[in-house]
Chain A
């Protein structure tokens, strides 16, 4: 057992309102620079949709992630589009890279023209100009061009996750009365088996030992761009100005200071949770190479119970600080993923073992239109809006979980996204979400009987206490409940890399070291 700690995230998709505040916070802090204009370390996509860069999930195009040749349990995995031999063969060519038009050509507007235009007969306009060339351009695309199902025939219908769905099922999703979408915010997953790290010919990428954040060393990076090809989530980006690759750094300077990453801190819907998990590094290889049907389960099994005395002992033996173990015990990530079994990784079939988990969306709640009962209406409080007509938008059914089969998003679609095609896993999570909702309806509205609510919880595998906890962490959680950030212990991390005795007695103003430059 080789216990390590990893800062891991939960995105609760039921709560995401698609406001892009996270993306803007990230952009303002990290990528508002020359060469990084097109990069969105955090982006929010509409699903169904093709995302950013377009069709990033289609690895037949981009050749990202790992692939397993055989079906046996002993078969190893290899990088699909990079790695030693393929990387060497393509090192000067790198044919599978996304081009700028797969992302979008970044642009701004000549706002000054509005102010400085001379008086004339025409209204002054702010023309769009490319942030790459500086020339006026026709805007062709943007990072969320398919937002809210815009351009659906071109984008939503070409969602790679629709692949396994029958044409009838696909068609049903795009009928006007059934059309629905949800948002998928994405950042770097800080994977346990990162393809980007494995692909780098220069060894510039590394996974930080103390918290598992995956970083690009800007002084070592030589701009081969193998990481861009290798990352199946397309979350490493090439900066054309510096000639180096960059990626989400999970705001590590903020994390080290005990602050939540900017995207999480600014999240309006409070959909984001962050906490430490303890995992067994010995099992990574085996889990990443497991059969596709066991992939998600084996991935989850890597994460260990932070309250288990054996785990605590092994963690301490491995130099994990007590404060980190305490954080792991209070980690919302552990609760969502392991205790409650609500969250799932995105596209685990890429075999990178992503450490960002998503609570799949239950919305939209399926309902039927029925006749309203005047007696029931009278029971409702004075603040309740009473409609003149007698239709009722009824969300309750006799067969409580039956609605899942009529969900606007086919379960297969969700399974393609979150469970490598395993529909049972999605169903279990959605049932739990629904059970909590029914339980809370019993508690607050009271129109669901206690027996029914208990039966539902039992079917979903939850207790009333768990349902309360889920409700609390989902709806009421305070800042410190959502972000349980362990003390960074930078001093220990530094001592692992260099001998601090050299510095002893020489503290003072010191000397400025040369600034980082492209070291070719």
Chain B
């Protein structure tokens, strides 16, 4: 009876197999294409495949170094993994100066596509011996005092950004004597160059094609121009290297003493200015002499 069952299905089986395989092949190719797009828009700002380290690590061969499951989890939410003290994730964070990869907004399927793309590309690179890899971009910074000054003004909004973007200090702070009251919605940009190992391109990435979702949304419709980016980078480098930070000075007891002396002078002045004022009641002497009862229930 079972044989008759299979016999009845015998004919469709090869067709179905062909269909399934072709679907698989098609989806494989489609995944490759979608993965590349996603990689370019989402990951390429910070990562290369075989091009060397940019902000984050070179992803060539990562599929061999880590398990697929780990990669999926990490791409989905590196922050959760660090929070859960995944040893490998914590090690990565330490290696990259505490720069944390933002959580992605990609779906699980899209993450698989991207990982697929990375795998296929790195396998291709491996077979070609590293030929054809896109190298990590390099940016050369020509920082003139004018650039620094322009960047400073743009940072706190004295010069408007050309495309109408929000001035940096709305969210960021940089401790600089000339800038007061930066925003604290996001990270301080004080030592940003030190953080990125003094590689201009890594800083440039953040202004050019930021990986951070909120910043990306904020500047989506009004991106910075290349000229503005260079000026801002020049300023940030200056703020970093020149140590123009207003580190609090400790004045010792001098501060307290100057305050005390100032207060004394002020009170002396008040005393002279209002010396003729009426103080207390004219009946005070009489009241003080009066016998008072003890009033226990006075609140």
Contact = CB atoms under 8 A, between A and B. Distances in A.
B282 A95 contact: no
B280 interface: yes
Contacts of B293: 138
Given A54-B282, A102-B282, A138-B290, A95 B277 contact: yes
Given A102-B282, A141-B283, A136 B298 contact: yes
A154 B286 CA distance: 7
Contact of B290 (A54, A135, A136, A140): A140
Contacts of A140: 283, 287, 290
B278 to A, nearest CB: 5
A96 interface: yes
A54 B283 contact: yes
B295 interface: yes
Interface string B241-276: 000000000000000000000000000000000100
Q: Which of B279, B283, B286, B295 has the most CB of A within 10 A?
A: B283
B295 A97 contact: no
Nearest to A140: B287
B297 interface: yes
A136 B296 CA distance: 9
B217 to A, nearest CB: 45
Interface string A85-116: 00000000101110101100000000000000
A96 B278 contact: yes
A53 B282 CA distance: 9
Interface in B78-137: none
A137 interface: yes
A137 B282 CA distance: 20
A97 B281 CA distance: 10
Given A138-B290, A140-B290, A141-B283, A96 B295 contact: no
Contact of B295 (A53, A138, A151): A138
B295 A101 contact: no
A61 to B, nearest CB: 6
A55 interface: yes
A136 B297 contact: yes
A101 B298 contact: no
A413 interface: no
A95 B273 CA distance: 12
A141 B282 CA distance: 12
B283 A101 contact: yes
B283 A61 contact: no
B283 to A, nearest CB: 5
A238 to B, nearest CB: 15
Contact of B278 (A95, A136, A137): A95
B4 interface: no
B274 to A, nearest CB: 6
Nearest to A55: B282
A61 B276 CA distance: 9
Nearest to A58: B282
Contacts of B280: 99, 101
B210 to A, nearest CB: 50
Contacts of B284: 101
A136 B282 contact: no
A54 B298 CA distance: 27
Nearest to A127: B295
B292 interface: yes
A137 B295 contact: yes
B264 to A, nearest CB: 20
Contacts of B295: 135-138
Contacts of A336: none
A99 B295 CA distance: 23
Contacts of A101: 280-281, 283-284, 287
A102 B283 contact: yes
Given A55-B282, A137-B298, A140-B287, 19 more contacts: A53-B282, A54-B281, A54-B282, A54-B283, A61-B278, A61-B282, A96-B277, A97-B278, A101-B280, A101-B281, A101-B287, A102-B283, A135-B295, A135-B297, A136-B295, A138-B293, A141-B283, A141-B286, A154-B286
19 contacts: A53-B282, A54-B282, A55-B282, A61-B282, A63-B278, A93-B274, A95-B277, A95-B278, A99-B280, A99-B281, A101-B280, A102-B281, A102-B283, A135-B297, A135-B298, A136-B297, A138-B293, A141-B287, A151-B286
